[in-house]
Amino acid sequence: MTETIGTVPAIEINNILVRFQGKVVLNHFSMKLSAGEKVVVTGDSGLGKSTLLRCLLGFVIPNEGEIFVEGQRLTPESVWTLRTLLAYVPQEPELGQGVLEDWFKAPFSFRANAGLKKNFDRLPQLMERFSLSPELLQKEVSTLSGGEKQRAALITALLLQRKIFLLDEPTSALDSRNGKRVLEFLFGIPDASILAVSHDHAFLGLADRVIELSGKGETRAH
């Protein structure tokens, strides 16, 4: 896709350097994610792909460089506000305790999400679309499979109308059929901006752009 002139990027990363215990994990990495663009970051394990997502969430602070989310600079003061724009789905979502229905309802008890309560009506439709049985709503979240947890995390992000999705191998625990259904749905949302880390070839085929991290901290886009 082509970014409209004057449109603020969903994400802008400028020359970030991340070093852990003297080892460079991300070496002066830069990129832009346009509004509505779907980008997949790939590359061998240990090259900083998951670290990149954690930087965007403010969990990891780069040694150098800066990050902007919808034109706002990510700082310790702005991080909490900017996280409300982001949906992060890790490879192994942690859903805590309780039954799944209560877990879905919990975010709507917060003042920031009070205006979105009507979106909860979409839950049955989304569960069906993601091949989750209604009976799962009364199951303890600790008993769910990895694939069920991944889909539950994605559904929550959709119910909360997050604008930017940060996905870390979100279909790794799904079979190919369910993985394809999830990906086609997510990548078919026109105004959703997606930055995904994945080796899944289905992801690569749906992306507007693929960024490959190399062992020297360099990137190749295609």
Going by pLDDT thresholds of 50, 70 and 90, the confidence category of residue 219 is low
Average pLDDT over residues 27-43: 91
Q: Are the C-beta atoms of residues 113 and 77 closer than 8 Å to each other?
A: no
Going by pLDDT thresholds of 50, 70 and 90, the confidence category of residue 221 is low
Q: How far is CA 155 from the centre of its chain?
A: 12
Residue bearing tokens 């724009």:
85
Sign of the CA dihedral running 164, 168, 174, 179: positive
* pLDDT per residue as tens digits for the range 123-175: 999 999 888 999 999 999 989 988 888 889 889 989 988 889 999 887 777 78
Q: Are the C-beta atoms of residues 168 and 203 closer than 8 Å to each other?
A: no
> Residue 4: pLDDT above 50?
no
Structure confidence at residue 2 (pLDDT): 44
Q: Which helix (H) or strand (E) holds 30?
A: strand 23-33
Tell me which fold the domain 38-54+84-221 belongs to: Rossmann fold (3.40.50)
> Residue 5: pLDDT above 50?
no
SS3 per-residue string spanning 73-87: ECCCCCHHHHHCCEE
Mean pLDDT taken over the chain: 85
Distance CA 191, CA 188 (A): 9
Going by pLDDT thresholds of 50, 70 and 90, the confidence category of residue 195 is very high
* pLDDT per residue as tens digits for the range 71-114: 999 999 999 889 889 988 888 778 888 899 998 888 888 877 77
* pTM, to two decimals: 0.85
Going by pLDDT thresholds of 50, 70 and 90, the confidence category of residue 215 is low
Amino acid present at 121: D
Q: How far is CA 200 from CA 98, 145, 167, 181, in A?
A: 31, 20, 12, 13
What are the residues whose beta carbons fall under 8 Å from the beta carbon of 199, sequence distance 6 or more? 42, 169
For residue 171, the SS3 value is coil
Going by pLDDT thresholds of 50, 70 and 90, the confidence category of residue 15 is very high
Tokens of 169: 């191998």
> Residue 220: pLDDT above 60?
no
Tell me which of 49 and 57 has the higher pLDDT: 57
Average pLDDT over residues 204-209: 84
> Residue 36: pLDDT above 90?
yes
Structure confidence at residue 135 (pLDDT): 92
Length of the chain: 222
Tokens of 42: 């790939």
